[in-house]
Amino acid sequence: MKFNRKNESSDIFGSDAMRKPAPKEFIPKHRTPAETAYQMVKDETFPQTQPRLNLATFVTTYMDDYGTRLMNEAVGINYIDETEYPRVAVMCGRCINMVANMWNSPEQSEWKTGAVGIGSSEACMLGGVAAWLRWRERRKAEGKAYDKPNLVMSSAYQVVWEKFCQLWQIEMRTVPLTQDHPTLNIEEAIRMCDENTICIVPIEGVTWTGLNDDVEALDAALDAYNKKTGYDIPIHVDAASGGFILPFLNPGKKWDFRLKWVCSISTSGHKYGLVYPGLGWIIWRDKNYLPKDMSFSVNYLGASITQVGLNFSRPAAQILAQYYNFIHLGMEGYRDIHENSMDVAAYCHKEIGSMPCFRNYSGRLENPLFVWYMDEEYDKTAKWTLFDLQDSLMQKGWMVPAYTMPKDIEDMVVMRIVVRQGMSRDMADMLVQDIKDSVAELEKLQYPTPTRIAAEKESSQKGKVYTH
Ligand SMILES: *Cc1c(COP(=O)(O)O)cnc(C)c1O
C-alpha cells in the first residue's frame, strides 16, 4: 500500500491515501507524507462526541490555556529521568505535600509520604499492596498463617478493587448495597472482618451513586472492634473523586487523616484535581505505613525523597499541570469551580427529579454527580427504557450513561450525570431541554422498544408484571 500523493502539488484530499482503506494489520511498506498521515489519524477521532458533552466520565475534559500549554510543552518529559529533570521530582514532592496537608496529614517531616500514579487505579493498587504487606509482616512476627488475606468494602466498588484482589489473590468481601443502605453498611462491614482482613475500603464519591461512605462512623466502629479483638485493621479511603471535593466544599467533615484508623488515601488528580489524564495520588499517614519493600530512596534533591510506584517511566506533564493548578487556583479557585459544579448538578438533580417519569436515587447531593431511575408506576406502562433515552441523547451529542446497579440491586437501571468544570448552567438548560424532548418523543411510541421488550422478558421470568 502506498499513500504518496499523485504528484507534488496534489492536496491532502486529492491524495491516494484519502480513497484507500487505512492500514489495519501490517505496518505499511512505504512512507506516507506527514501531513497526510496526520490527517488520517486526526480524522479517526473526528466522529467522536465533544468531550465536554460526555457526562459519563469523571475525568477532566477542560483545562485553561496556560495549563494546556504547560502540558503540551512538557509532552516529551519522562518523570523517571530525575537526574535530567530534577525539578520535576521536586514539584512532585511539593504536590504530595500539598495533597497530604489538604487531607490533614499528621506527618511532620519536610517531605510527606506519598506517591504519584497514572490514576487512582495505580494509587489504589499501591494502597492495597501496602496494607497487605503490613498485615503479612505482623502475621509473620506473630508466627501466624498469612496465606488467606481478605479485604472488605461495599459492592459499589470501582473495578480497580476487583483487579487488585484478582492480581494479588486477596479475598474480596463485599457488603451489598441495598435500598435501605445506599452507602457502605458499617455494621455489616465490621461483621465481615476477621484476623485476616488487611483493610476496609470506604469510598468518597461512589462511582455508582455519587454518595459518600461514612468514614467517621466506620472509624468509630472499627476502633471499638479493634479494641475488642486486639486486631489493628486499618482504613484505606478510595477518594478518587471526593479527595478533591471534600477539602474545598466540606472542610469540617472528618473522613481523612483526622481519623485514627485512616492510614492511606488515594485520589485521581485527573478527576476533581482538574488535570488532564493520567494522574493519581496516594498518601500514607506517615512513613511507618509504607512498607520498606515498596520504596526506594533518592538523595539528590537536597533531602531523601521516597519513591514508590508500579510504573517506571511515566509522563511528567500531569505533575506540572497539578502544581500549576495548585498555584493558580489556590484553595479559593478550587472551591469556586467545584461550588459551580455542585450548583449546576443541584439544578439538574432538581429538574430531572421533578419530571413525572423519573425519581432521584437519593435526595442528597454530596458530590456534583447523581443517578436517577424510572418512576416505578410510570415504568409499568412505559414503552421505553433508560437505555433508549441514552441513545436518543447520544444523537443530540450528549453522553449520559444508563447502567444496572451492582449485585443485589442489579434489577435497578439508573442513569448518571457527572458535572465537571466545563459544564455551565446554560449547558445544563440545553441538556434538560434535550432530555424533555427525548422523553416526549419516546412517549409517542406505539410499540415497546427492543430494550423494553428484553427488560420485560427478563422480569416476567422473575415474576414482575407489566401492563400495556
Ligand atoms: C475513577 C475511580 C477509580 C479509578 O480511577 P482512575 O483514576 O480512573 O484510575 C477508582 N475508584 C473510584 C471510586 C473511582 O471513582
Show the 3-state SS of 110-152.
Answer: CCCCEEEECCHHHHHHHHHHHHHHHHHHHHHHCCCCCCCCEEE
**238 in ligand 1 pocket by Cβ < 6 Å?**
yes
Report the distance separating Cα 260 and Cα 234, nearest Å: 9
Answer left, alpha or beta for residue 371, where phi above 0 means left and psi between -120 and 50 means alpha: beta
Question: Distance between the two ends of the chain, CA-based, in angstroms?
Answer: 57
CB 290 within 8 A of CB 308: yes
> Which triple of cell numbers denotes residue 245?
471535593
Of ligand 1's listed atoms, the one at least distance from the Cα of 119 is: 7
Report the distance separating Cα 33 and Cα 86, nearest Å: 37
Reading the chain (468 residues) residue by residue, the pLDDT tens digits are 455 545 556 789 998 888 999 999 999 999 999 999 999 999 888 766 688 999 999 999 999 999 999 999 999 999 988 777 889 999 999 999 999 999 999 999 999 999 999 999 999 999 999 999 999 999 999 999 999 999 999 999 999 999 999 999 999 999 999 878 999 999 999 999 999 999 999 999 999 999 999 999 999 999 999 999 999 999 999 999 999 999 999 999 999 999 999 999 999 999 999 999 999 999 999 999 999 999 877 766 555 656 799 988 899 999 999 999 999 999 999 999 999 999 999 999 999 999 999 999 999 999 999 999 999 999 999 999 999 999 999 999 999 999 999 888 888 999 999 999 999 999 999 999 999 999 999 999 999 999 999 988 887 777 654 444
Cα 257 to ligand 1 centre (Å): 20
Ligand 1 pocket mutation pick from 116, 265, 268, 416 by most atoms within 8 angstroms of CB: 268
Report the distance separating Cα 344 and Cα 229, nearest Å: 46
Cα 345 to ligand 1 centre (Å): 20
Beta bridge partners of 305: 298
**105 in ligand 1 pocket by Cβ < 6 Å?**
no
Cα 211 to ligand 1 centre (Å): 14
**267 in ligand 1 pocket by Cβ < 6 Å?**
no
**268 in ligand 1 pocket by Cβ < 6 Å?**
yes
Cα 315 to ligand 1 centre (Å): 19
Of ligand 1's listed atoms, the one at least distance from the Cα of 278 is: 7
For residue 72, CA distances in Å to 65, 75, 85, 175, 313 come to: 10, 5, 16, 43, 18
**241 in ligand 1 pocket by Cβ < 6 Å?**
yes
Q: Whole-model pTM above 0.85?
A: yes
**280 in ligand 1 pocket by Cβ < 6 Å?**
yes
Instruction: Return the SS3 of 275.
Output: coil
Answer left, alpha or beta for residue 210, where phi above 0 means left and psi between -120 and 50 means alpha: left
Beta bridge partners of 399: 54
Angle at 171 between CA 168 and CA 172, to 5 degrees: 105
Residue bearing the CA closest to ligand 1, atom 2: 240
Return the sign of the alpha-carbon dihedral for residues 96, 99, 102, 106: negative
**58 in ligand 1 pocket by Cβ < 6 Å?**
yes
What per-residue confidence (pLDDT) applies to 142?
96
CB 351 within 8 A of CB 431: no
If you search the block for the grid coordinates 482503506, which residue do you land on? 21
Of ligand 1's listed atoms, the one at least distance from the Cα of 205 is: 13
Cα 58 to ligand 1 centre (Å): 8
What per-residue confidence (pLDDT) applies to 16?
87
Omega before 278 within 30 of 0, i.e. cis? yes
What per-residue confidence (pLDDT) applies to 105?
98
**306 in ligand 1 pocket by Cβ < 6 Å?**
no
Report the distance separating Cα 68 and Cα 422, nearest Å: 14
**266 in ligand 1 pocket by Cβ < 6 Å?**
no
Residue bearing the CA closest to ligand 1, atom 14: 240
